[in-house]
Amino acid sequence: MYSDGYQDQMGGAQNKRFLSTNLKALFLKLNPVPFAKQKQVLDKTIIDWKGKNDQIDDIMIIGFKL
């Protein structure tokens, strides 16, 4: 489960939104990775994406294992 905050962050080479397609691709890539590492990758990815831009929305991602 996640809010729209992650995908709405501005950044990247063209200073555009991260977009839901990129977030979904990232989720698929992280699927086999342990939760602790997933958090690290999600944090680093959005920090790198934003660059010097301010965070423009709240970010919430909740993961659970069935």
SS3 content of the chain, % helix, strand, coil (to 5): 45, 10, 45
C-beta neighbour count of 14 within 10 angstroms: 6
The predicted structure's pLDDT at residue 65: 86
Model pLDDT, residue 8 = 96
Q: What is the mean pLDDT of each run of 10 residues along the chain (66 residues)?
A: 95 97 97 95 98 95 90
Predicted pLDDT at 9: 97
Confidence (pLDDT) at 54: 96
Q: What is the spatial distance between Cα 35 and Cα 39, in angstroms, rounded to a whole number?
A: 6
- Position 66 scores a pLDDT of 85
The pTM assigned to this predicted structure is 0.90
